[in-house]
Amino acid sequence: MRHPLRTSAGLAGAVLVALMVILAIIGPPIWGATAERIDSAAILQGASAAHPLGTDNLGRDILARVLVAGRLSLTLALLATLIGAGAGTVLGALPSVLPRRLGRLVTGTVNALVAFPGLLLSMFIAVVTGLGARGAVLGIGAAIAPGFARLTQTLAASVAKADYVAAARMLRVPRRRVMTRHILPNIAEPLILNLTQALGGALLALAGMSFLGLGVQPPSFDWGRLLFDGFSRIYATPAVALGPAVAVALAGIGFNLLGDALANAASRKPTPARKARLRAAPDTTGLGEPAPEAVLEVRDLTVAFPGGVTPVRGLSLTIAPGEIIGLVGESGSGKSLTASAIGGLVPYPGEVSAGRLRLCGADVRELPEAERRKLLGTSLAMVFQDPMASLNPALKVGGQLAEVATVHQGASRAEARGRALDRLGHVHIPEPARRARQHPHELSGGMRQRVVIAMGLMGSPRLIIADEPTTALDVTVQRQILRLLREVTDETGAATLFISHDIAVVGELCDRVVVMYAGRVVEELPVEELASGAAHPYTRALVASLPDMETDRSRPLASIPGRQPSPAELAEADGTAGGCAFAARCELATARCAQRPPLVDHGKAHRVACWEA
Amino acid sequence: MIIKNLTVRFGAFTAVDDVTLEIPSGAIVGLVGESGSGKSTLARAVAGLVPYTGAVEGCDQRRVQMVFQDPQASLDPRMTVGASVAEGLRLPRAARQAEVERLLSLVSLPAALAGRYPRELSGGQRQRVAIARALCARPEVLVADEITSALDVSVQGAVLNLVRSLREELGFSMLFISHNLAVVRYVSDVVAVMHRGRLVEMGPTEDVVGTPKDGYTRSLIDAVPRLGRS
Amino acid sequence: MAEPTRPPAAGPRRALAGRVRGGLVLRRVVRFAISLAVLLVASFGMIHLIPGDPVRASLGPAAPVELVEARREALGLDQPILSQLVSYVRHVLGGDFGTSFLSGEPVGDIIAARLPNTVALALSATVVALLAAVPLGMWAAIRTENGRNRGTEVTFTSATGAAVAVPEFLYSIALVTVFAIGLGWLPPAGKAGPESYLLPIAALAIAPMAMIARISRVETLRELGTDYIRLARAKRLPTARLYLRHVLPNTLTATLTVGGLLLTGLIAGSVLVEYVFAWPGLGLRVVESITQKDYPVAQGVILVYGAIVLVVNLLVDLLLGLLDPTSALKET
C-alpha cells in the first residue's frame, strides 16, 4: 500500500480534514460566547474591522458563528453517516443470511433505492418527520444506506467466490469463522475507505438541507443554516455568505480528496521509483555490413526503463524471408518487450535503442514519419496472446479488417471490403461474408485468432510477429493456428517471429530457435538440434523439465532450482561485476561465470553464450 | 473413491453429464480435457463445492481436499502462510506450530516462511503452501485442478515431482486435472478424457495414450506439440 | 480444420435474437412498472406516516375544529385506508394530484406549469456536462497514459476531485455573486431570455462534468491498455481514427451509465439551484410546500421526481442495450 499522504492532493485533504476536526473541538469553547452575543447597535452590518464577515439580524458576529457551527455540522454529518453505513451494511449482509427469495427481495429493493438521489429520499423523510435536524439526519442516513448496502453485497459476493473461501469450506472451517477470518477482513477496508467519502457527502447534503430551510432550525445553527440566513442578503453584503460557503466547500473538498487518496493507495500497486535516465546511442561501428536480403535485422537492441531497469539487453536477430524464428523464454525474460520494440510499441516510459533496426531493408528510425507509418502499418503484422482481447468489441469484424486497406493503401470502401472477404477466406473462415458482418463476441476463440491473422494479411506483410498467439487456446485449436501460421508464411514469403514460453510449441513450428534468459539471448540454434543438441545448460534444462509423450514416467522430471532474476533485481546487480545471469541456478557454474560469456558461434548456425558449452 | 453417475447442471446447461469414474486407493487418476469440457466442474463437485446429482462413494467427503489453479487467488492475502496452513488443524496452540513446520517441510519449504504473507512468495512457493494447507486435513483424496498452469515451465517440474513424491510418502489417492496431456500422462496411473461434459475414454495411462479408442482422444494426442516434429 | 462453428442458418438465428431482445425489453419494462407501483404506494404512505394528524399539523393548533374536519373529509382521510389508496391511485392515474392547501390550485396544474422548466434545466446541464467532460477525460487519459506527464495527472485529478466535492448551491451562489452582482453581466434570478439559462446550467453542470471527466479518463486508460488498441496502433492508424473509432465507443457504456445516474442526481440538484436562482421550476415549489406543510403539493412533486428517476433509468438501460454489442439486446 502506497502511503496515501505521499500525493499533494492526499496531503491537502488530510490537512483540511484535520483542521475541521480541530475546529469542531475548539470552536465552541473559544468563540461560543461571541457567537451568541447580541448587539443591537450592530445589526445587519457588512464586513468591517470589528466583524470581518459582518453581523446578522441580531448583531451577532458571523465569523464567530461560522467557527462555532463547525461542530454541529460535523457531528450531524458523522451521525448521518454512521446511521447510513450501519443500516447499509446490515442490509447488504442480509441476503447472504436470509432465505433465498427474501434475500432476492432485499437485493431488488436495494438496487431500486440506489437509483434515487439522496436529496429526494431526504425530502421524503423530511415531510414525514417534519422540519429539523433530526429529520435531516435520518433522511441523509436513509440516502446513504442503499449505496453502502450495494457495496457490501458486491464485496461480500466477490470474496465468497474466492478460492481461499472454497479451501476453507473444504477444511470444514465453521461458517462463522469463515465470515470473521476471511470475508470481513477482506471487505472491511473498502467499506471503511468509503466512510470517508460518505462523510463528506453527508456534510454537503446536510448543508444543502439546512440551506433550503429543511434542516437545522433556529436557534441552532450549522453552516447550511448560516448560508440560508446570509443568502437573502448577498445583494447588499455578499461577504455574509462568504464564511459559511467557504467552510462548506473546504470541508467537502477535504473529505473528498482524502477519501480519493486513501482509495488510490489501497488499490494501486507500489510504483517503482522513477528516475529519468537518458541512454547514450550505442556505438554503431563494428556492426558489419547490413544483410540486404533479411526481412528484419536487429543489432544490439536494448529496452530500458527509468531506474536502470533494462528488461532487454543487447539483443541481435536476423530473419530471412520465409523463415519462422521461435523466441522462447520464461515470463520476465524480455521476449514480449522485444516484440514490442520491433513493432515500435514499447509503452512510455520505456526507451528503445539499437545499433541497427532494419525492416525490409530500411532502418525504420531513419524513415520520415509518414513512410514509417505506412511501412509498419502494411509490412508488419502482429498477433497477440488473447484473441478475446485482440479485436475491438464495438466494431464489426469486416470493418476492422478493411480499415488497413482504406487507411494505408487508399482503397475504396468496396475494394477494401472485397479484400477483407478474400483474406478471411484465406485463413479458412467459412462463410466470410456472414462473419464479416458479425461482432467479435459472436466468434469462437480460434476463429478470432484467424481474423487477427487475416487482418495482418490485409497489407503485404513481410514480417509477422506472433506474441504467444496460441497460449489462450485449446490444444486442438492451437494445432490449427500453428498450421495456419506455417501456411501463411510459406505462401506470402513473409518471415515470422513466434514468441512463446512453450519450448515444445516452438520446436514444432519453427525453423530456428532463440532462447532468452534475463533479457539476453543465451542460445540460438536450428530446431533440429533443440531436442538433443542444445549447448546452453538453461536450454537443456528447459527441454528436460518439459514432459512430453515420451518422457520416462519412472524418473523425476528435471527442474531448475531458484528462479530467474527479475529486471529490477538485475538492475541492482548491474552495479557489481555482472556475470552470467544464469550462474546462480547452474550446476556447471565455475569461477569464470563471474564474467559474462559472449554469444559466440558454436557450430553451423548455432550460437551460444556459455563458458562451459 | 467411486464417482457414480455424477451430473452437474447450471440452469439449462449441463456441465458434467452422467460421469462414472473410479479413483482406486493410492492411485493417481489424470483427467484431461479442453476448456469447457467440465473437468473443473467435476473436480468442484467431488470436493463438495457445487451441488450435483449422482453419488460419490467409498470415501468420506470430508477427507477430500483440493488444490486450485492460481495459488495467488487461493491464499487469503491477509493471512500469513502459517495461519493459512493451520486453518484446518484442530490442535492446541502449542502443537500447532510444530505441525505447521512439519507440513511446510513436507512440501520442502523452510519453517521461517510461516510468518510471511503470500505476496512475499514466488508462484511456486505459493503453490507449495496451498498443497501444505490441503495436506493438513490428512486427505484420502487430493483433487489437483490445473495446479501447474499458472507456473513457469522451470518451476512446473519441481511441483509435479513434489506431488508424486508426496503420494508415495503419504499414500493418498489423487484426481489430477490438466489440459496438458503430456503432464497428465507423466503423473497419472489412469487417464480419463472428458469432452463436452461427458467421459469419452478411460483406462491405464499407457493404453489410453498408446492405443486410444475414442476419436476425440486421438485428436487430442495428435495435437500435443512435440519438439522438432516438423 | 473442424472448428466448432455456430449454426449457419441466418433466419432462425435472427428470430431468436429478436426474441431475446424482446424478452429483455419486456423484463426492463416489467421492472419499471413494479417500481412505479411501489413508488405510488410510497408517496401515498408518506402522508400516512406523518405522526399525528397531518391536517392539524398543516393548519396549526389555532385552526377551528370544523375546518380541520372539513379538510379531512375533502382529502378522504376519514375513509378506510385501503379505499383511500385505491382512490388515490385512480386519481393520480387520471392526472388529479389533489389541490394545494395554500393556494387552492390543482397540484396537477402546478406540475404541468413548472415541470418543463425543471426538465429544460436538468437536460441542458446533462448535455453540457457530457459534451465537455468526455473529450476532457479522453484528452487527460491520452496525455497521462502509463504515468506520462505527471503534472497533468496531478492537476487533473486534484482539480476534478475538488470540483466534484463542491455542491451545486455553492456554485450557484458563487456564480450569482461574481457574474450577476459583481460584474452585472447576467441576470441574478428568474427565467427570462436565453441568457438567464447560463448561470443555472453552469452551476448545475460543473460538478457532474468533473465527475464524468474522471470516469471518462479511467475508462479511456483502461481501453488504451487493451490488446486491440495495441493492435490498432501496430496497424499505424491515424490518431483521430484510433481514438474516435476504436477507443471512444468502448468508453461510452460506463460513461453513459454514470451519466444516467447523474441526470437523476441533477433532477435533485436542480432543487437547490432553482432555489438560488428563483427558477420557476418544481424545486422551488417543493421546498416551499415542505416548509409550509402543503402536503398535497409535496406529495405530488416528490412522486413526479421519483417517476422521472425511474423513467431515466429505464431509458438508460434500453440505450445501453442498443449501444453495447456484447449485450444480447443488439444483434445483426
The CATH number of residue A467's host domain is: 3.40.50.300
Of B44, B160, B230, the CB nearest to A509: B230
Q: Looking at A246, A267, A288, which one is the last position of a domain? A: A267
Asked if A281 and A179 sit in the same domain, the reply is no
Q: Report the number of distinct structural domains present in chain A.
A: 2
Identify the residue whose cell numbers are 486435472.
B177
A243 close contact with C: CB closer than 8 A: no
Q: What is the pLDDT of residue C5?
A: 37
Q: Quote the cell numbers at residue C154.
A: 496531478
Q: What is the pLDDT of residue B130?
A: 93
Q: Looking at A241, A267, A293, which one is the last position of a domain? A: A267
Q: Do the Cβ atoms of A26 and A269 come closer than 8 Å?
A: no
Q: Which residues of C touch A256 (CB under 8 A)?
A: 161-162, 164-165
Asked if A200 and A311 sit in the same domain, the reply is no
> Which amino acid, one-letter code, is at A369?
E
> Which amino acid, one-letter code, is at A347?
P
Contact assignment for C325 to A430 by CB distance below 8 Å: no
- Cα angle for residues A595, A597, A602 (degrees, 5° grid): 155
Of A119, A124, A389, the CB nearest to C226: A389
> A599 lies in a domain?
no
> A383 lies in a domain?
yes
Residues B137-145, mean pLDDT to the nearest whole number: 91
CA A63, distance to chain mean position in Å, is 46
Q: Quote the cell numbers at residue A395.
A: 466494431
Q: Looking at A267, A300, A329, which one is the last position of a domain? A: A267
> A565 lies in a domain?
no
CA A532, distance to chain mean position in Å, is 42
Instruction: Assess whether pLDDT exceeds 70 at residue C326.
Output: no
CA neighbours closer than 13 Å in the CB half-sphere of residue C205: 20
Cα separation of A82 and C222, whole Å?
Answer: 34
> A307 lies in a domain?
yes
Q: Do the Cβ atoms of A483 and A311 come closer than 8 Å?
A: no
Instruction: Assess whether pLDDT exceeds 60 at residue C204.
Output: yes
Q: Determine the structural domain holding residue A8 and report its residue range.
A: 4-267
Q: Which residues of B touch A267 (CB under 8 A)?
A: none
Of C49, C177, C246, the CB nearest to A392: C246
Residues A123-149, mean pLDDT to the nearest whole number: 86
Q: Which residues of C touch A7 (CB under 8 A)?
A: 154
Instruction: Assess whether pLDDT exceeds 50 at residue C10.
Output: no
A390 close contact with C: CB closer than 8 A: yes
Cα separation of A585 and A562, whole Å?
Answer: 6
Q: Which residues of A touch C30 (CB under 8 A)?
A: none
> A210 lies in a domain?
yes
Asked if A187 and A130 sit in the same domain, the reply is yes
Assess whether the previous peptide bond of C194 is cis (omega < 30° from 0).
no
Q: Which residues of A touch C269 (CB under 8 A)?
A: 117, 119
Q: Do the Cβ atoms of C311 and C36 come closer than 8 Å?
A: no
Instruction: Assess whether pLDDT exceeds 70 at residue C9.
Output: no
> A546 lies in a domain?
no
Chains contacting B with at least 3 CB pairs below 8 Å?
A
Asked if A125 and A69 sit in the same domain, the reply is yes
Mean pLDDT is highest, among A217-221, A513-517, A567-571, C117-121, for A513-517
* CB count in 10 Å sphere of residue C115: 16
Asked if A444 and A306 sit in the same domain, the reply is yes
Q: Which helix (H) or strand (E) holds C174?
A: helix C168-175
Asked if A258 and A298 sit in the same domain, the reply is no
Q: Which residues of C6-35 are buried (b: 16+ CB within 10 A; e: fewer)?
A: eeeeeeebeeeeeeebeebeeebeebbeeb
Asked if A323 and A210 sit in the same domain, the reply is no
CA neighbours closer than 13 Å in the CB half-sphere of residue B142: 28
C84-118 pLDDT tens trace:
888 888 888 887 888 887 787 888 888 888 888 88
Instruction: Quote the ipTM score.
Output: 0.88
Cα separation of C238 and C141, whole Å?
Answer: 18
Asked if A288 and A260 sit in the same domain, the reply is no
DSSP C246: I
> A405 lies in a domain?
no
C247-296 pLDDT tens trace:
888 888 777 777 777 777 788 788 888 888 888 888 888 888 888 888 88
B110-140 pLDDT tens trace:
888 889 898 888 888 899 999 999 998 889 9
Question: Percent of chain C at pLDDT above 70?
Answer: 90
Cα separation of C258 and C166, whole Å?
Answer: 18
Asked if A150 and A107 sit in the same domain, the reply is yes
Asked if A301 and A261 sit in the same domain, the reply is no
Residue A220: give its domain's CATH number: 1.10.3720.10
Asked if A96 and A165 sit in the same domain, the reply is yes
Instruction: Assess whether pLDDT exceeds 90 at residue A390.
Output: no
> A590 lies in a domain?
no
Among C43, C145, C228, C245, the residue to mutate for chain A (most A Cβ within 10 A)? C228
Using only C-alpha atoms, chain A has a radius of gyration, in whole angstroms, of 34
* CB count in 10 Å sphere of residue B146: 19
Among B35, B128, B152, the residue to mutate for chain A (most A Cβ within 10 A)? B152
Q: What is the pTM of this model?
A: 0.79
Asked if A43 and A138 sit in the same domain, the reply is yes
